[in-house]
Chain A
């Protein structure tokens, strides 16, 4: 099996990862798909490119000043592209990476160290996680009624 086919396998596992429900400054899934496509010489999927474009547009609105980075951007002669150090990757390294991403995706450690409902439905705040998930799934757009809002504020519970 060549290194490229292992990279392909890594990308296929990465594509199965869930999309972030809340947009963050970077997406693990898309960043890593791009990286391993680059390493394995695989064309970057369309969905990832689209996502990157959206991120780029956002970045133009929110400019974070970083003196060192700006210096590099201004004074470097070539255009700065992420350096994935492609030549350092060999078959063994990629296989290890594949094994790890697979065990993360298969929930290996979550299943091995399974925990009871004691922590998932904490007795001090039983609805904490279900409400958090509900709000995340609703995209943070769900409005709370005035009575439940008062209840939350006064009791501190969810």
Chain B
């Protein structure tokens, strides 16, 4: 029997929706192996490398508080209510689906354009912002535990923004590799949503009631975002972990002089792992929202050539079935091969 963690893993990564858990468990298992794996599993797995969380936990260096960056938890009192459509398992009623399909087919709607908003601006953005969300007296999510407890980063609104931007940048890298017009649209939508969300959070959660002050903060966040994307892009272009580590030190660890380098390495490893997954997912699967960030307590195993071709084959079966029946909303120009 599969353990809960494995079952959760089978829902994530490239095979999310591409591989049906159960049928292709061996391959999916080879893709991701969790550090939190329990002994119940009978499936043979080889852990390639420790997960970022395990790597960071190995460090024996005590945590030094930075007096310049005190914790400022966000009060649960002001917490924004998550709309229904953000929750797992939310399903659109059948009649709405049918109406939508008819509408799309009748007016020849360009679905790649629409998907930029529903996938890029919604699903992918929710994924990014959930990574570092934290509230007072509320248990942290698995990913937030990594950022705030394992790495010891300050629990502040600015930190949430930095973590979210790091993930947005990871998606930007993949979006640039999509056809120009579509990729740009995805990027635009996710940025729009990010700033819309920041404004809402500033007014609701942080209680900044003056619109003028909010605007000043947003301008600050915007220039921070430009700087962060620039330095991370520079590191990515130079193909160097040195530069990437320096960019992460400045933008995630706030240039802390007393940084634990083991933790810095863990974040470098985390970023590289995500990029590897993004590299191996096809445009079509990525554009349809079949990507999920690998958790910091999970590790990705390297794919063999056969695995890669199998992955593409499964994507093809999912998006272009042999019987040729594709719903109007599933039509796309995105490539299935790269």
Q: Is B242 in contact with chain A by the CB < 8 A criterion? A: yes
Min Cβ gap A16→B in Å is 9
Contact of A20 among B64, B244, B246, B269 (CB under 8 A): B246
Given contacts A118-B279, A124-B176, A29 and B184 within 8 Å (CB-CB): no
B114 interface hit (Cβ, 8 Å) = no
A119 CB to nearest chain B CB (Å) = 5
**Interface SS of B by simple majority:** helix
Chain B residues with Cβ under 8 A from A113's Cβ?
A: 272-273, 275-276, 300, 302
Instruction: Check A119 against B278 for contact (C-beta < 8 Å).
Output: yes
Give Cα A115–Cα B279 distance, bound, in whole angstroms: 6
Q: Is B22 an interface residue (CB 8 A)?
A: no
B12-56, CB under 8 A of A: which get 1 and which 0? 000000000000000000000000000000000000010000000
B173 at interface, CB cutoff 8 A: yes
Interface membership of B257, Cβ < 8 A: yes
In the complex, the chain B residue whose C-beta lies closest to that of A16 is B242
Mask for A84-112, Cβ within 8 A of B = 1, else 0?
11001100110011011101111111101
Q: How far is the CB of B141 from chain A (nearest CB, A)?
A: 24
Chain A residue numbers with a CB within 8 Å of B94 are none
Establish whether residues B234 and A136, one from each chain, have CB atoms under 8 Å apart when the complex forms.
Answer: yes
Q: Are B234 and A133 in contact (CB under 8 A)?
A: yes
Q: Which residue from A72, A116, A124, A125 sits with its C-beta under 8 Å from B279?
A: A116
Secondary structure of the A contact surface, majority rule: helix
Could you tell me if B234 and A124 are in contact, using CB atoms closer than 8 angstroms?
no
Chain B residues closer than 8 Å to A34, beta-carbon distance: 257
| Interface members, chain B 50-76 (any A CB < 8 Å) | 58-62, 64, 67-68
The reply to whether the CB of B219 lies closer than 8 angstroms to some CB of chain A is: no
A66 at the interface (CB under 8 A from B): yes
CB of B321 closer than 8 Å to a CB of A:
no
Complex contact A109–B241 (CB within 8 A): yes
Q: Are A110 and B272 in contact (CB under 8 A)?
A: yes
B60 touches A92 (CB 8 A): yes
Chain A binder among B145-153, B193-201, B260-268, B312-320? B260-268
B177 touches A109 (CB 8 A): no
Interchain CA distance A104-B248 in the complex, whole Å: 12
Question: B residues 286-338 with Cβ under 8 Å of A?
Answer: 300, 302, 338
* Residues on the B chain within 8 Å of A66, using CB: 68
Beta-carbon contact of A120 and B239 below 8 Å: yes
Question: Does B249 count as interface, using CB distance less than 8 angstroms?
Answer: yes
| Interface presence of A28 (CB below 8 A) | yes
* Of B239, B246, B260, B272, the contact of A17 (CB 8 Å cutoff): B246
Q: Are B184 and A25 in contact (CB under 8 A)?
A: no
Contacts of B64 in A (CB 8 A): 85
CA distance A32 to B253 in the complex (A): 13
Residue of B with least CB distance to A99: B262
Complex CA–CA separation, A18 to B300 (angstroms): 29
Asked if B272 and A100 sit within 8 Å, CB to CB, the answer is no
Q: Mark out the residues of chain A between 53 and 95 whose CB falls within 8 Å of any chain B CB in the assembled complex.
A: 66, 68-69, 72, 82-85, 88-89, 92-93
Alpha-carbon distance between A27 and B243 when the two chains are bound, in angstroms: 11
Decide if B239 touches A110 in the complex (CB within 8 Å). yes
Determine whether A22 belongs to the interface, using a CB cutoff of 8 Å to chain B: yes
Q: Which of A113, A128, A132 has the most CB of B within 10 A?
A: A113
Q: Is the CB of A107 within 8 A of B241?
A: yes
Contacts of A93 in B (CB 8 A): 59-61
Check A28/B276 contact, CB under 8 A, given A97-B261, A110-B239: no
Partner of B265 from the list A17, A18, A100, A124 (CB cut-off 8 Å) is A100
Chain B residues lying within 8 Å of A151, measured Cβ to Cβ, are none
Given contact pairs A17-B246, A115-B279, A123-B177, A25 touches B338 in the complex (Cβ within 8 A): no
Which 9 residue pairs spanning A and B have beta carbons closest together? A113-B276, A129-B237, A28-B246, A124-B180, A122-B176, A122-B177, A115-B279, A100-B265, A26-B255
Binding site for A on B (CB under 8 A): 49, 58-62, 64, 67-68, 173-184, 231, 233-234, 236-246, 249-250, 255, 257-262, 264-265, 268-269, 272-273, 275-276, 278-279, 300, 302, 338
